[in-house]
C-alpha cells in the first residue's frame, strides 16, 4: 500500500493478479483462510465525515464487500449493525473491532435472512440498539453453481431467491417503520444480473430481480424522501468465491476483465459511501456497475 492512498496507481497491477493458489472452503467461507487475504481498506480508507451520526444496518457485513463497506461507513462517522450467518462469528467480530477502532458503535446480529421473522427482528434490534435507523445496506447474498438444468433443484432456487430477493422485501418493509426522509437503501446486484453465466442461472435471475427491485422501490419511496440505489460488482476477491466456484475458475479469477484481475473489496466501498451520503441526493433507482473495465452490459 502506497503511503498516500490517493496517489494514482496503475489499475492493472494495483492489487493481486491471477493465477491464485488452489483453495476451497465450505459455505459460507471465512476471510483468514483466503490466500491472498482480501484488502478491505483496513490500511487505506480515510473517512471525511460524510456519514456522520448515521445509523446503518449492513447485511453480509462480516466479510468481503460488506466488511469493506462497514469499515468505510464507520470511518465516515456511522454506527453499524452487522447481520451475518452464525458460522461467521469470527469474521463478524474482526469487522466489529475495526468499527469500534474507528470510534463508532458495532452491534452484532447473527441470523439467517432467508427467514422472514429474523429479518424483522434484525431491523428492530438494530434500530433499538443504535437509537434509530437511517441506512439499510443489503450486501448479503448466496451463490450456487449448477452445471445444467438436469441438475436443477427447487431447494437451490428457493434458497437463492429467499436469501437474495425475498430478504430485500422483508428488510425494507421493516426498516420503513424507522426511516425518516433522507434515509437511503442500497442493494447489491451483480454483473450476473446483466450478463448471466450459464452455470449461475438461479443466481443471475435473483441478481436481475434486484435491479428491478431497486428501480421500482426507488419510485415507490420517492414521495417519502427515501432514495434506493444499487451496486453491481464484477469479479471481487471475497470468501464467496472459494466457497462457490469451481477450482479452475478460482485460480484464474478476474483474468477475463480488461484489468486482468479481480477487484478487491476496498475498491468498492466508496461507491456505497457515495450512494448513502448526501452527495447522492438527486440519485435514486440507479445501479452502479463496478466491473474492472468490462463493457457491453
Ligand atoms: P462474502 O461471502 O464475503 O459475503 C456474502 C455474505 O452474505 C456472507 O458473508 C454472509 O454473511 C451473507 N449471507 C449469505 N447468506 C446469508 C443468509 N442466509 N443470512 C444472512 N447472511 C447471509 O462475499 P461478497 O463477494 O462480499 O458478497 C457480497 C455481495 O456481493 C453478495 O450479494 C454477492 O452476490 C455480491 N457479488 C459478489 C461478487 C464477487 O465477485 N465477489 C460479484 C457480484 C456480486
Ligand atoms: Mg462472510
Specify the pLDDT at position 216.
98
Q: Is 288's pLDDT higher than 60? A: yes
For residue 43, being part of any structural domain is answered with: no
Distance CA 275, CA 216 (A): 17
For residue 146, being part of any structural domain is answered with: yes
For residue 147, being part of any structural domain is answered with: yes
For residue 41, being part of any structural domain is answered with: no
The average confidence (pLDDT) of the chain is 97
Q: What is the pLDDT of residues 100-137, one digit of tens each?
A: 999 999 999 999 999 999 999 999 999 999 999 999 99
For residue 26, being part of any structural domain is answered with: no
Between the CA of 65 and the centroid of ligand 2 the distance, in Å, is 9
For residue 266, being part of any structural domain is answered with: yes
Quote the domain boundaries for residue 125.
50-290
DSSP H or E segment with residue 290: strand 287-290
Cα angle for residues 246, 251, 254 (degrees, 5° grid): 95
Lookup: cell for 45: 480508507
Choose the residue to mutate in 140, 161, 250, 288 for probing ligand 1, maximizing ligand atoms within 8 Å of C-beta.
140
For residue 235, being part of any structural domain is answered with: yes
pLDDT higher at 5 or 148: 148
For residue 4, being part of any structural domain is answered with: no
Q: Is 297's pLDDT higher than 80? A: no
**Domains identified in the chain, total number:** 1
Q: Is 2's pLDDT higher than 60? A: no
The CATH number given to whatever domain includes residue 203 is 3.40.50.720
Amino acid at each position: 500500500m502506497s503511503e498516500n492512498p490517493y496517489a494514482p496507481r496503475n489499475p492493472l497491477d494495483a492489487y493481486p493478479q491471477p493465477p491464485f493458489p488452489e483453495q476451497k472452503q465450505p459455505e459460507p467461507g471465512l476471510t483468514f483462510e483466503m490466500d491472498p487475504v482480501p484488502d478491505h481498506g483496513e490500511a487505506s480508507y480515510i473517512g471525511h465525515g460524510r456519514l456522520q451520526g448515521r445509523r446503518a444496518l449492513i447485511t453480509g457485513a462480516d466479510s468481503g464487500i460488506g466488511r469493506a463497506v462497514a469499515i468505510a461507513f464507520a470511518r465516515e462517522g456511522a454506527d453499524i449493525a452487522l447481520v451475518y450467518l452464525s458460522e461467521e462469528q469470527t469474521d463478524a467480530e474482526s469487522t466489529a473491532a475495526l468499527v469500534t477502532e474507528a470510534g463508532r458503535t458495532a452491534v452484532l446480529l447473527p441470523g439467517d435472512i432467508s427467514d422472514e421473522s429474523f429479518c424483522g427482528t434484525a431491523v428492530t434490534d438494530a434500530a433499538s440498539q443504535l437509537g434509530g435507523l437511517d441506512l439499510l445496506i443489503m450486501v448479503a447474498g448466496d451463490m450456487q453453481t449448477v452445471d445444467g438444468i438436469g441438475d436443477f433443484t427447487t431447494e437451490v432456487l428457493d434458497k437463492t431467491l429467499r436469501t437474495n430477493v425475498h430478504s430485500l422485501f422483508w428488510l425494507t418493509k421493516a426498516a420503513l417503520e424507522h426511516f425518516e426522509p433522507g434515509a437511503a437503501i442500497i442493494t447489491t446486484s451483480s454483473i450476473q444480473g446483466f450478463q448471466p453465466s450459464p452455470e449461475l442461472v438461479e443466481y443471475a435471475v435473483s441478481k436481475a430481480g434486484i435491479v428491478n427491485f431497486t428501480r421500482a422501490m426507488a419510485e415507490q419511496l420517492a414521495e417519502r424522501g427515501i432514495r434506493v440505489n444499487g451496486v453491481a460488482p464484477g469479479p471481487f476477491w471475497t470468501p464467496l468465491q472459494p466457497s462457490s466456484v469451481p477450482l479452475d475458475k478460482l485460480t484464474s479469477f478476474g483474468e477475463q476483465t480488461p484489468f486482468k484481475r479481480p477487484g478487491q473489496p476496498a475498491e468498492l466501498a466508496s461507491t456505497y459511501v457515495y450512494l448513502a451520503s448526501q452527495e447522492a441526493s438527486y440519485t435514486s433507482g440507479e445501479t452502479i456497475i463496478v466491473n474492472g473495465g468490462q463493457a457491453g452490459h
